[in-house]
Amino acid sequence: MHTQVAIIGAGPAGLLLSHLLHLQGIESVVLESRSRADIEATIRAGVLEQGSMDILNESGVGERMRSEGALHHGFELSFGGRRHRIDLTALTGKAITVYAQHEVIKDLVAARLAAQGTLLFEVSEVQLHNIDSEAPAVSYQHAGQAQHLQADFVIGCDGFHGVSRPSMPEHLRQDFQRIYPFGWFGILVESAPSSEELIYAQHERGFALVSTRSPSVQRLYFQCDPKDDVNNWSDDRIWAELHQRLENNDGWQLKEGRIFQKNIIGMRSFVTTTMQHGRLFLAGDAAHIVPPTGAKGMNLAVGDVRILSQALNDFYRHGRHDQLAAYTENALKRVWRAEYFSWWMTSLLHTFADASSFQQQMQRAELEFVVNSKAMATALAENYVGAF
């Protein structure tokens, strides 16, 4: 089999790239190791920046996002028993949409299949070949058969644990990484939202976050030991912890409900450079990871494939190589900015077990600075909505 662009991974990066290429008349094949049902049910991100919404809308896959997603014009920061609103729209003129990543995935899968796109699920043993030649290839197993896909380009959209990044020559790559000494315990709850807007809470017992998924489902998170086990946390223990971290003296109450999913995620910051070698390009989590505090991961994946689809279009339409050559440089400008913001917001809001009492006071002073200075609040808001 031959295609113009072989895409490894059907996450937001791979599916959106395939969709954008199709709109430009460029054919692609997407190879995904999991089943369609599995990728459409995996609960991950929730926040879309304006720029990500714009791409989904402009490329014709924004209809459900517009009707089912919730537009948020601000969020709240909670600390010291008080809550402070960050008015995103007043400070930046922009907003964000809370719309679950697996819903974006469903919309993109439906669009690719409606356009007769080739999307292969449950492939295994994916291997990349000849990436430094003009005829790269991918071998894999599908439906019990060994397959070989010849392509002009291979795009690694296979997430942090995929095969694409390790297929790049080690001596050409430099990795930058920070692993945080905490994780997030995430739950899905059957209940109406406790708050119309997201609440990011700093508390001496640890960070907590109130988000939503729909008018009847809440998404809540709290900082935990990354090595902890969800089985150590009964529903009662979870609620007691969340009440302590979130409630303050304005009478607001967290709404409880049936908890129907619990998971723990580790937190890391990671960037690999270069994001390309020969005919292999990396996009999204395959190349970089941010801790979820700034809600940037899926938005960075969208940003990468926007740049890459334009560069591939330049190549096929106009025979130009310059935008492809500049891909890593162009993508990394935005990536490092988001890495900085995600690290900063994580540091501002989490409890660090080894922080001295002086460092704790500095964290509190910084929070006061953010909510009391319009300049600081604007900087936070600009970064959060992705106005850069």
**Residues annotated as catalytic (active site), given as ranges:** 72, 200, 292, 296, 384
Binding of ligand PHB by 385 (CB under 6 A): no
Binding of ligand PHB by 102 (CB under 6 A): no
Radius of gyration for the chain, computed over Cα atoms and rounded to the nearest angstrom? 21
Q: Out of ligand PHB, ligand RFL, none, which partner does residue 128 contact, by CB within 5 to 8 A per kind? A: none
Give the shortest CB-45-to-ligand RFL separation in angstroms. 3
Binding of ligand PHB by 183 (CB under 6 A): no
Binding of ligand PHB by 78 (CB under 6 A): no
Q: Out of ligand PHB, ligand RFL, none, which partner does residue 298 contact, by CB within 5 to 8 A per kind? A: ligand RFL
Which of 55-63, 77-85, 135-143, 288-296 is the region at the interface with ligand PHB (rule: CB under 6 A)?
A: 288-296
Phi-psi region of 121 (alpha: psi -120 to 50; beta: other; left: phi over 0): beta
Residue showing tokens 């392509």? 151
Residue number with CB closer to ligand PHB (28 or 101): 101
Q: Out of ligand RFL, ligand PHB, none, which partner does residue 129 contact, by CB within 5 to 8 A per kind? A: none
- Considering only 8, 47, 86, 128, the residue that binds ligand PHB (CB under 6 A) is 47
- Residue 114's SS3 state is helix
Give the shortest CB-198-to-ligand PHB separation in angstroms. 6
Residues lying near ligand RFL in the complex (CB under 6 A) are found at 8-14, 31-34, 39, 44-47, 101, 123, 126, 157-159, 162-163, 186, 265, 284-285, 292, 295-299, 301
Comparing C-alpha atoms, which of 149, 154, 126, 111 is closest to residue 16? 111
Give the shortest CB-200-to-ligand RFL separation in angstroms. 12
Q: How many residues does the chain have?
A: 388
Residue number with CB closer to ligand PHB (101 or 164): 101
- Residue 84's SS3 state is strand
Q: What are phi and psi of 291, to 5 degrees?
A: -65, 150
Q: Out of ligand RFL, ligand PHB, none, which partner does residue 31 contact, by CB within 5 to 8 A per kind? A: ligand RFL
Residue number with CB closer to ligand PHB (46 or 159): 46
Residue showing tokens 């086990």? 229
Beta bridge partners of 185: 222, 264
Contact 367, 348 (CB under 8 A): yes
Binding mask 294-323 for ligand PHB (x = CB under 6 A): -x----------------------------
Cis before 273? omega within 30: no
- Considering only 94, 219, 279, 334, the residue that binds ligand PHB (CB under 6 A) is 219
Residue number with CB closer to ligand PHB (120 or 371): 371
Comparing C-alpha atoms, which of 137, 145, 102, 132 is closest to residue 10? 102
Residue number with CB closer to ligand RFL (32 or 152): 32
**How many CA atoms does the CB half-sphere of 155 hold within 13 Å?**
34
Q: Out of ligand PHB, ligand RFL, none, which partner does residue 285 contact, by CB within 5 to 8 A per kind? A: ligand RFL
Binding of ligand PHB by 293 (CB under 6 A): yes
Neighbours of 216 (CB within 10 A): 12
Binding of ligand PHB by 292 (CB under 6 A): yes
Give the shortest CB-285-to-ligand RFL separation in angstroms. 4
Binding of ligand PHB by 46 (CB under 6 A): yes
Instruction: By CB under 6 A, name the binding residues for ligand PHB.
Output: 45-47, 198, 211, 219, 292-293, 295
